[in-house]
Structure 1
Amino acid sequence: MDQKESVNVDQTVRRYHQLKQKQKEIEQELAELRQQIMNHCTDQGLTEFEIGNYSVKIIAQDRREYDEHKLYRALPALWWKISKADSSKISSMLKLNDITEDDLQGTYTMKKVSLLHVDRK
């Protein structure tokens, strides 16, 4: 590697690190802001509201949380396709009819999650 290439790689690595640090800071601030908005909605009993040029909606969803041991017992022949209880892979297998809802009985619990959408009007 010549000196010019080394300088470019050094700059690239430095910039990558800077951006990753910035990303962590932004994600942390987003999480804090999200929590403040969610707390406001909870305190006011709201699932949606408008403020200025923005509309805010909280959408409740149910998500499956799979128990890997139960899933392995229910699907031993297909475990190699999953190898970890990945909800998106399992959903894909359901859509492709590799497995059925009956195959999954008792392998998961439902978890309530709230998605926050903030859109500009």
Structure 2
Amino acid sequence: MEQQIARYFELKQLLKQAEEEVDRLKAELLAAYEAPGTYVNDEYKLMISVQERRDYDDNRLYNALPDKDVWRLLSKADTTKITGLVKLSILNEHILDGTYEVRHIPQIRISKK
């Protein structure tokens, strides 16, 4: 059992180091290739895209809701729940204007040619 514990600890350390290196490489790639698009070299294809994420403010969202009973469905500003309520037509997009900040998150995908 001691060997499994030691191996588990070792692998967790390696995983942490690998994640740190991936983060560093991602930052370097994003610095070198700032614009979204596809970049191809001899062996690899790099695709950079931007994902929009909304960060809702609880207070602004609560004040914007036409029916305060809807807040019971949310209980806090959960993006997934809000999206679901918009799709069900319980909430309207124009009501949500001004209740969130939009973040642009760059995404990287690399594949072999």
Instruction: Report how far residue 50 of structure 1 moved.
Output: 0.8
Provide the rounded CA distance (Å) in 1 between the counterparts of 2:82 and 2:55: 11
For residue 31 of structure 1, give the secondary structure of its aligned residue in structure 2: helix
The equivalent residue for 2:107 is 115
Q: Which blocks of at least 5 consecutive residues in structure 2 are unaligned?
A: none
Q: Does 1:72 align with 2:65?
A: no
Q: Over aligned residue pairs, what C-alpha RMSD do you find?
A: 2.8
Q: Distance in 1 between matches of 2:86 and 2:93?
A: 7
- So what's the TM-score if we normalise by structure 1? 0.70
Aligned equivalents of 1:93, 1:73: Cα separation in 2: 17
**Which structure 1 residue ranges, 5 or more long, are not aligned?**
1-6
- Residue type of the alignment partner of 1:30: V
Which runs of structure 1 show a deviation greater than 3 angstroms over 4 or more consecutive aligned residues?
17-23
Q: Give the share of equivalent positions with the same residue, in percent.
A: 32
TM-fit CA distance, 1:20: 4.1
What displacement does 1:11 show? 4.3
Q: TM-score, normalised by structure 2?
A: 0.74
Farther-moved stretch of structure 1 (77-86 vs 61-70): 77-86
Higher helix proportion: 1
One-letter amino acid matched to 1:115: Q
Q: Work out the number of aligned pairs and report it.
A: 111
Q: How far did residue 95 of structure 1 move? A: 1.7
Q: Could you tell which deviates more after superposition, 84-93 or 18-27?
A: 18-27
